[in-house]
Structure 1
């Protein structure tokens, strides 16, 4: 029983080591990996090389598949090029299996010691992140050594020998077992290395080991499909295509396993080496034979997996890709795109205020008010998505962007709430009571409304590119809008004094409207604060030099007034 627990613990350590390496590399090179993959789509050989190199870093072809599926889903790369990257990714994973098949037990203590020292001394820096990768590599080599040690007592156990020799001799059940193990461990590399070790210890016959390796390759494809089930149709195309490639390769290789065993027996000095060389040869053959067919396969996938037409105003998140959470820089980009989607819905609501006012369109007003539920739902989804991004994995610049997105979505959610109340007031105080504004009053509100739309579009631009000049321009609009509010409120009072009929009827609504539009503008202008603060372009106070200073108890109120005024 103890020997079995030791073996299970060693297998768990192997899986954990590959996970640490994968997450460490993504945290260290996440954005650079995206750029490398994006630049490598010019030709099929370069796409193969990019997939091979990135997967050797990540220690997981599944992680590469998730990364590329996100790119395909966001239409950053074509499906055909992504399929070529995946063929290279499978070669990269199999190459690492060959490397780890050598006796690297002497290297494990060195990697773990150096990695821990680097990680503890410089945890937040690139050095610390690289130390994390070294720890993972050390754990992988240590786990392989522990697996070999744990299997020695098991070899002598009659029960274990009977259990393993009872594995079916047919290839199809071996494929199923190998695939299930790969899915359960979330790592085909770990299963291939485990199979090679068990075969070396005599617990598995070579042909059974080769069948399990085929199954591990198939399981890697199944794992990619399972992890993208909740993604968009475009996102699912790549994993499905990768699984089809692996399935085709398994169908061809299954009847030839005895022949492969005979050929590799002469080329490989040990059974373990035979297993990993078969794994490498299988993936190299797939890459050579299928790289030319990626365009045809991609065309077929795009005809078979068709994206349904998107609704005009989709209420559900469109860009919050759960697979991108493995790469913080990519996840931040997804959250920013979803925040702009939320702002688009807010802009639709804001734009609809004018036709509701002009035409007393009660039906349109009710439709626009319902859109506030969409704004709130998107805000909750973005907030939850951002909380799933590991803060320690973010660089300083990404951390600031994380904060900017939170601030932006809060402002959009509050603007949506204000617009909903404005529309409700218009329904109650104007449409249902059949009142109308004076021509001058309507012109003032329309002017403020149009200026507000311009400021919202400028605010979205500032959020998108962080241009300091545009941020300054947006903040200047706050003072201009405040001056217009005072001017139009005074004009309205003058009309009341002259007993203009329509002005008297709609006085309360008119004053509330210009006040609410000013509040909306304040939230829009708040988008500029983080950008200007990062650039050091904000003054400490708006008070004139020599002006009376408020008492300590009043200072919070003054600061609040500065923000809201």
Structure 2
């Protein structure tokens, strides 16, 4: 009966750890949203900075498993390249050893405070980012509580006669030690708890130092298995690259360490006679050695992982380029035509986003707004694919006309993608705020928004047509549309001030969001005009430096 209860406790604490990890990951993604890609891109462009970031995050989270799962999720979502993701994993491996070094201080005492702070932010602050950061604090607190209970549960077995007899039987086989510790760590989801248990066993003399070091090696394998098994869901094997790379590195390191475990054990015990400290030091030195050897080799290792787990070509993936034929690069005019056809798909995706926003506002359905964010990811991926394709063309094979068309395609894709960013970063948060607060637009305001979004969609179709025809008359008509949005913004501003004078707070708040949405649409329209009209007018000499015609 006691065994069954303990197994239920173990499963519950593991579930709590996984749920805390999930809350931290989703909270970070929701809090930073589309900015996360830029933040990680600038912070983790250098593998050594990525290594330090992984070490620091793990030291905070107290779980290399949690860091591994989040890193795998970010890499699978395109927020992080493979080389920095592998560097983060190496840093996480070292970071978790620091926890073992300092866990004599009961840092889990802050867990209730983290949950309390997170709950206050989650429940009482209406700002979206603070709300999501509250989710992160709650997740961190739950993770610390789960790890503390896991440690307490496993520490209760350290003096078990059955366990002592079992470990005594396998102490002579380092390979069995490795397998046993790997299985325990995989089941517990915490190398920290297992290594602390090993330290206790070594201190009490239940296992000799060399067997304790072999158990530590097994714990390092076990903690690398969890992100591989529980990483991003889906059929794309490429999502498993960071976790697989981390596991391969651990396996190679363990294989080498096993071969020299006897001399290593004698050396460490001569330096540090305290058995518990010797186990902790071996754990840290092992991961530092793997990091020092691996960091310079991450680029070729990443190439190997790309070959082992190639990108899955999903014909139904809307972000997959359809017209960028590599064979067409030999003939620049054909390649430019293919890139132009691909660029028109960006306009189609942006139109879907605009119509989706209109439907979401009209129906008050937040799920439609969430779906639009996925469309923005399609814009980003297609834009990157087109840029990579065009910049890979041999410039010596391009004449002056070809180079001009190449620049026009890049201008079109860049502006359409930036218009999508405005929808994602500005328009959607304003629309979500209106739905979240239960604010109701007046009949006139709702009709105004619907009409302006419809006008944006028409302008987008015009821009796509202009991108193909390059007709100066159509370009002037498209530029004239900027005045329509300026007038609509001026009218909405005057109406907003009238409502403020009426002192109707809720109506004024709805009016303020209505004004923000119109300003967002004005900016989106500016990008649409710049995407297709400006290049045509500039070529004909009809565009002044002030962007006036």
The aligned residue for residue 536 of structure 1 is 514
Q: Could you tell me how far 1:111 is from its partner in structure 2?
A: 3.2
1:166 aligns with 2:140: no
Equivalent residues of 1:174, 1:211 under 8 A apart: yes
Specify the structure having the higher radius of gyration (Cα): 1
Equivalent residues of 1:14, 1:190 under 8 A apart: no
Distance in 1, Cα, partners of 2:197 & 2:185: 11
1:301 aligns with 2:305: yes
SS of aligned partner of 1:202: coil
Equivalent pairs counted in the alignment come to 364
In structure 2, relative to structure 1, the CA distance for the partners of 1:272 and 1:19 (3 Å cut) is farther
Q: Could you tell me how far 1:273 is from its partner in structure 2?
A: 2.2
1:133 aligns with 2:144: no
5 Å-filtered alignment, 1:180-329, equals 180-228=183-231, 230-268=234-272, 270-311=274-315, 314=316
Deviations 1:109-141 (A, max 9, x none): x43554565456555355685466356436645
With 258-267 and 472-481 compared, the bigger mean Cα shift is at 472-481
Equivalent residues of 1:22, 1:60 under 8 A apart: no
Q: Indicate which of 96, 100, 103 corresponds to 1:97.
A: 100
SS of aligned partner of 1:307: coil
In structure 2, relative to structure 1, the CA distance for the partners of 1:123 and 1:49 (3 Å cut) is same
Q: Could you tell me how far 1:285 is from its partner in structure 2?
A: 0.5
Unaligned regions of 5+ residues in structure 1, if any? 319-343, 352-378, 380-398, 411-455, 483-530, 540-565
Q: Could you tell me how far 1:295 is from its partner in structure 2?
A: 0.9
In structure 2, relative to structure 1, the CA distance for the partners of 1:112 and 1:9 (3 Å cut) is farther
Q: Could you tell me how far 1:40 is from its partner in structure 2?
A: 2.8
In structure 2, relative to structure 1, the CA distance for the partners of 1:7 and 1:256 (3 Å cut) is farther
Distance in 1, Cα, partners of 2:373 & 2:313: 28
Q: Indicate which of 24, 36, 39 corresponds to 2:42.
A: 39
Equivalent residues of 1:200, 1:271 under 8 A apart: yes
5 Å-filtered alignment, 1:421-440, equals none
Distance in 1, Cα, partners of 2:221 & 2:301: 18
When the two chains are superposed, the root-mean-square deviation of aligned CA atoms in Å is 4.7
Distance in 1, Cα, partners of 2:39 & 2:374: 31
Q: Could you tell me how far 1:210 is from its partner in structure 2?
A: 1.5
Equivalent residues of 2:61, 2:143 under 8 A apart: no
Q: Indicate which of 57, 72, 82 corresponds to 1:69.
A: 72
In structure 2, relative to structure 1, the CA distance for the partners of 1:224 and 1:128 (3 Å cut) is closer
Distance in 2, Cα, partners of 1:67 & 1:293: 23
Deviations 1:274-320 (A, max 9, x none): 22221111100001111101111112222333224442xx06999xx
Equivalent residues of 1:10, 1:144 under 8 A apart: no
Q: Could you tell me how far 1:15 is from its partner in structure 2?
A: 4.8
Q: Could you tell me how far 1:405 is from its partner in structure 2?
A: 1.9
1:111 aligns with 2:87: no
Equivalent residues of 1:13, 1:143 under 8 A apart: no
SS of aligned partner of 1:77: coil
In structure 2, relative to structure 1, the CA distance for the partners of 1:408 and 1:464 (3 Å cut) is closer
Distance in 1, Cα, partners of 2:26 & 2:312: 34
With 128-137 and 273-282 compared, the bigger mean Cα shift is at 128-137
In structure 2, relative to structure 1, the CA distance for the partners of 1:231 and 1:55 (3 Å cut) is farther
5 Å-filtered alignment, 1:482-501, equals none
Equivalent residues of 1:61, 1:89 under 8 A apart: yes
- State the TM-score, normalizing by the size of structure 2: 0.54
Distance in 2, Cα, partners of 1:252 & 1:231: 33
Q: Could you tell me how far 1:19 is from its partner in structure 2?
A: 4.7
Q: Could you tell me how far 1:252 is from its partner in structure 2?
A: 0.7
The aligned residue for residue 85 of structure 2 is 82
SS of aligned partner of 1:42: coil
Equivalent residues of 1:10, 1:147 under 8 A apart: no
Distance in 2, Cα, partners of 1:115 & 1:71: 24
SS of aligned partner of 2:207: coil
In structure 2, relative to structure 1, the CA distance for the partners of 1:237 and 1:538 (3 Å cut) is closer
In structure 2, relative to structure 1, the CA distance for the partners of 1:123 and 1:346 (3 Å cut) is closer
Distance in 2, Cα, partners of 1:224 & 1:22: 12
In structure 2, relative to structure 1, the CA distance for the partners of 1:99 and 1:533 (3 Å cut) is farther
The aligned residue for residue 476 of structure 1 is 452
- State the TM-score, normalizing by the size of structure 1: 0.52
Deviations 1:202-254 (A, max 9, x none): 33332222112111211223323223474523322222222221111111100
